[in-house]
Structure 1
Amino acid sequence: MSANEQVFNVTKIVAHSSFNRLTYFNDIALIKLSRPATINQYVDLANLAAAAANCSVPQPWFPSTSCYVLGWGRISNASSNYSDSLKQVASSYYPQVLCNIFTLSDSAKYGGLFVQNCEKRICGGVHAVAGQDSCEGDSGGPLVCRHSDNQYYVHGILSFGTVPCGQGLPAVFTKVAEMRTWITTNMTP
């Protein structure tokens, strides 16, 4: 363990009571740590994205240099090993119409899952760049984007992606902005 790492015990896990294991709808959970993290140059807070008025409002398309997917998942399809350090890949955040097109047109690559409810899901990832992707073990990791205020905002929580990973198609994320009420209601001091 390096001097920059912090280790915690988990004292509580709160999973969404309406999580659907077949569709991955409401794929979100909260964990309570045994103690507060020490904020420093290696550990910092990220804001939660604000909710959009409705699905007809065009979602922002952030350039790939502004957003990142983070996780400890597999670093290749050829390996069954998971990363022992946090990895990140530059990512894009796709408008809802593209998310629907990607997942419907290639639904077999997504294990038959697709995005049909824009209130709860978004797509993000590295489209058309095979090999740069989230992978097995990254689920639960964030899609964070830096906004014009130079702050990072969590827009998504990785739910599912293509099988195998690295096919140049975006992953599907639980949309944090639409889960803010659930998050606030289920946070405990």
Structure 2
Amino acid sequence: MRFRERCSLLGIIAAAAAVGLGTAAPAQAAPAGDVQPYIVGGTRAAQGEFPWMVRLSMGCGGAMYTPQIVLTAAHCVSRTGPNTGITATVGTVDLNSGGTRVRSTYVHRSPTYNTSTGGDWALVKLASPVSGVPTLPIATTTAYNSGTFDIAGWGAAREGGAQQRYLLKAKVPFVDDATCASPGGIYNDLIPRAELCAGNMASGGVDTCQGDSGGPMFRRDGSGNWIQVGITSWGRGCARPNAPGVYTEVSTFASAIADAARRI
């Protein structure tokens, strides 16, 4: 693995058990009251604020691409094919209360993932459409690939921390490719045509973290509507200075995503 992907070990263990992919020692859950009001450096989202947000049972996030398909990260799933082992929770900010839960039927994993072309995206088809929940359109051009972005997820509120019960949100500024790659190390692997960077380079403090993988990075378009520009993918630790978050550049893969969605 060339980078530290932002997935949840606890979620992967649960998903593996559900689909018979193997066993692992159980992880210790966080105390019920251990809920912090930030993603990393953010605040709690209000019910209905981002209604297209999805929590997947393998420990990743996602967004409703169509009423029956969730867009997430390729590194959150193992392969393309039938899959009934994932449960999507939609329509709630509190994972312990409310919302709709639907099982998966099929997964499409980007065939270019982990290649020099990049492509950390995947689609999860649900057993039935989710009614009453809006979808999140994806960017088809680079017009919105800069500025200030919004991020959200149920991942850890600090590096190495517990997954969160409540949906958390934050804002992160765009970081250009040259600046993103300047710290070196794993950032030498940045694929400029396929990935976007965002975060506070000098100070850190705000970021996605483990368990936020697959969730959307989004902003308002020219008409004031939400549009997805990125998918939470990887980074060095969480919210460290000179270690921005790296996101799949959705506009690069918009046509491939649309084609795959029509086929599954």
C-alpha contact (below 8 Å) 1:73/1:138 kept by paired residues: yes
**Cα 1:6/1:129, change in 2 over 3 Å:** farther
Per-residue deviation, 1:177: 0.6
- Indicate the SS of the match to 2:102: coil
Per-residue deviation, 1:100: 2.7
1:100 aligns with 2:175: no
> Distance between the aligned counterparts of 2:170 and 2:234, measured in 1?
16
Q: Which runs of 5+ in 2 are unaligned?
A: 1-95
Stretch of structure 1 that moved more, 120-129 or 138-147: 120-129
Q: Which runs of 5+ in 1 are unaligned?
A: 53-57
TM-score, normalised by the number of residues in structure 1:
0.76
**Correspondence for 1:61 among 136, 146, 151:** 146
TM-score, normalised by the number of residues in structure 2:
0.56
| Ranges of 4+ aligned residues in structure 1 off by more than 4 Å | none
Residues 115-164 of structure 1: per-residue CA shift (max 9 Å, x gap): 2x4321111234444321111121111111112311111101111112x2
**Cα 1:112/1:128, change in 2 over 3 Å:** closer
Per-residue deviation, 1:86: 2.2
Counting matched residue pairs gives 167
> Distance between the aligned counterparts of 1:113 and 1:181, measured in 2?
27
Q: What corresponds to 1:76 in structure 2?
A: 158
> Considering only aligned residues, what root-mean-square deviation do their CA atoms show, in Å?
2.4
Q: What corresponds to 1:9 in structure 2?
A: 103
**Correspondence for 1:114 among 184, 189, 198:** 189
> Distance between the aligned counterparts of 1:146 and 1:130, measured in 2?
23
Per-residue deviation, 1:27: 1.0
> Distance between the aligned counterparts of 1:82 and 1:24, measured in 2?
31
Q: What corresponds to 2:166 in structure 1?
A: 85
